Amino acid sequence: MANKNALTVTDHRTGKTYELPIQDGAIKAMDLRQIKVDESDFGLMTYDPAFMNPASCRSQITFIDGDKGILRYRGYPIDQLAEKTNYLENAWLLLNGELPTKAEYDGWETEIKHHTMVHENVKKLMDGFNHDAHPMGMLVSTVAALSTYYPDAKQVHDKELRRTHVKRLIGKLPTLAAWAYRHSMGYPYVYPNNDLSFAGNFLTMMKKMGDKKYEVSPALERALDVLFILHADHEQNCSTNAMRAVGSSMADPYVSVAAAAAALYGPLHGGANEEVLRMLREIGSLDKVPAFVKDVKEGKGRLMGFGHRVYKNYDPRAKIIKRMADEVFAVTGTSPLLKIALELEKVALSDEYFVQRKLYPNVDFYSGLIYDALGVPVDMFPVMFAIPRVTGWLAQWEELVDDKEQKIARPRQLFVGKSQREVPRFVDRPSKA
C-alpha cells in the first residue's frame, strides 16, 4: 500500500518512480536530486526565480494566512496585540516566544533604554553625508558602521553576548533614524531621553527644537507605537530573507541588519508607503481618481499600497491602521489626501481588474498618511519601517543561527549561457560595425 505521507513521482524520461516523504506539508527539495537520467546527471532541481514556493526554514515566530488575512506573532492575533500591548512587549514576545511578565518587561525596557545612546563618533559619520542624502541611505550605512564599534558581535554563537547586541540594535535604531532626519534638515542632533517611552523618545529626537520642551500628544505617541507593533515582523519577506541570507554566513548582526535594511529600502517593499503618498499627491483631487485607476489597468504604473505576495485578502494591518487614522486625524486635523485614499480604495475594490487579481490595500496604503500627519517627511518612511522591523529581523536571525538544519544560503542556477570556447586574442576578435 502506498505511503500516505509521501509523494510518488514518475520520471517519464527514464520510466523510474520515486517516493518522496512529505513532512509538514512539504517535500525536501534535496530529495529531488536522486532523480537523474543517468549517473553523470546532476539531478533534478526546482526553478523558482522569486522564491514563490520554497519554505526556506522552520519558524515558530510569525504566522500568516494570506487568504484569510491572518497575522499572528507567536500565536497572538495582531489586532489583539495592537489593542492590548506596546511595541517593546512585542519585541520581547518575538525574541522570546512569550509575552513578558511585568518584572521582565520593566527590566527589558530599562535595558533597551540603556542602549539608546550611540558613540559620539557616529555624529561625525552622519556629518559626512551630503545635506540632501536620503535618510534610509544614512541609516543603512551607519548601522553597518556600528559593526566596527562592536567587534565581539562576530561571536554569533555566544547567546548572552548576542542578546546584548540585539538590545543595542533595538535601542539605537531610533537614535540613528532621528539623527539621519536631523542631518537632512540641517538641525542639531537631539540626544535620547530615557524618561520617555520608546515612541515618545523617538518623536522627541526628531521634533524637539532649541530649549523648548517638546510635548508629545499621547494619541500620536500611541499611534506611532501601534505602527511599530504592526511593522515588527512579517515572516519570510524580502528584507527578512536578506537578513537570513547574510546571517547564514555568520556575519555579525550589524552588517546583517544593514543588508536587511537595504532590502527594505526598495519601492516594492519598505519604500512603498513613500510611493503611496507621492501617488496620492500626484492624483491631487477626487475627480482624477477614475482616470488614475484606468491608467493603472492599462499597465501605466501600479496602484501603490495595493497587492501583496502573501495576502490575497485585506491585509489585517491595513484594517487596524485605517481605524487608527481617524484617531490621529482627530488630533492633527484631517488630510485631503485621506479623502483621495478612501475614494481610490472604494473604486479599486469594486473594479474587476483588482477583484480578479485579489489586490487589496496592504499595510503601506494608510501608514504613509499617518506618518504625514505626524509630520514625518516621505523620505523618512522606509526608516520608520526599519525602526521596529529590526526586532523581527533579529528574532529571525537568532532562530537561524540556532537552527541545526541551516547552512550558508546558496541557491543553484539553471545555466543558460554559452558552453566552453577558446579565448581569442584581440587580433582574432571580429571588429564590431
Catalytic: which of 225, 252, 364, 372?
364
Task: Count residues near ligand ACO (CB under 6 A).
Answer: 17
Least separation in angstroms between residue 55's CB and ligand ACO is 17
- Determine, following the binding rule CB under 6 A, whether residue 388 of this chain makes contact with ligand ACO: no
Q: Compare residues 174 and 305 and give the one whose CB is closer to ligand ACO.
A: 305
Q: How far apart are the first and last CA of the chain?
A: 67
One-letter amino acid at 343 equals E
Q: Determine whether 364 is an active site residue.
A: yes
Least separation in angstroms between residue 254's CB and ligand ACO is 23
- The span from the CA of 84 to the CA of 88, in Å, is 12
Catalytic: which of 79, 269, 351, 403?
269
CB 247 within 8 A of CB 261: no
- Determine, following the binding rule CB under 6 A, whether residue 308 of this chain makes contact with ligand ACO: yes
- Determine, following the binding rule CB under 6 A, whether residue 305 of this chain makes contact with ligand ACO: yes
Residues 360-379 that bind ligand ACO (CB under 6 A): 362-364
- The span from the CA of 34 to the CA of 350, in Å, is 49
- The span from the CA of 51 to the CA of 47, in Å, is 9
CB 354 within 8 A of CB 306: yes
Q: Compare residues 260 and 363 and give the one whose CB is closer to ligand ACO.
A: 363
CB 135 within 8 A of CB 181: yes
Q: Which residue has the CB atom at the shortest distance from ligand ACO?
A: 307
Least separation in angstroms between residue 101's CB and ligand ACO is 32
CB 393 within 8 A of CB 62: no
Q: Is the dihedral of CA 72, 76, 82, 83 positive or negative?
A: positive
Q: Is the dihedral of CA 190, 192, 196, 199 positive or negative?
A: positive
In the stretch 243-282, what mask flags binding to ligand ACO with x, by CB under 6 A? -------------------------xx--x----------
Phi–psi pair at 413, nearest 5 degrees: -135, 160
Q: Compare residues 262 and 363 and give the one whose CB is closer to ligand ACO.
A: 363
- Determine, following the binding rule CB under 6 A, whether residue 154 of this chain makes contact with ligand ACO: no
Q: What is the DSSP letter of 425?
A: P
Least separation in angstroms between residue 411's CB and ligand ACO is 18
Q: Compare residues 252 and 315 and give the one whose CB is closer to ligand ACO.
A: 315
- The span from the CA of 98 to the CA of 76, in Å, is 10
CB 171 within 8 A of CB 114: yes
Q: Compare residues 176 and 303 and give the one whose CB is closer to ligand ACO.
A: 303
- The span from the CA of 251 to the CA of 236, in Å, is 19
CB 250 within 8 A of CB 404: no
Given the DSSP bridges, would you call strands 62-65 and 70-73 parallel, antiparallel or unpaired? antiparallel
Catalytic: which of 308, 315, 372, 379?
308
Q: Compare residues 198 and 311 and give the one whose CB is closer to ligand ACO.
A: 311
In the stretch 328-367, what mask flags binding to ligand ACO with x, by CB under 6 A? -----------------------------x-x--xxx---
Q: Compare residues 137 and 271 and give the one whose CB is closer to ligand ACO.
A: 271
In the stretch 275-304, what mask flags binding to ligand ACO with x, by CB under 6 A? ---------------------x-----xxx
* Active site amino acids: 269, 308, 364
Residues forming contacts to ligand ACO in the complex (CB under 6 A) are 268-269, 272, 296, 302-309, 357, 359, 362-364
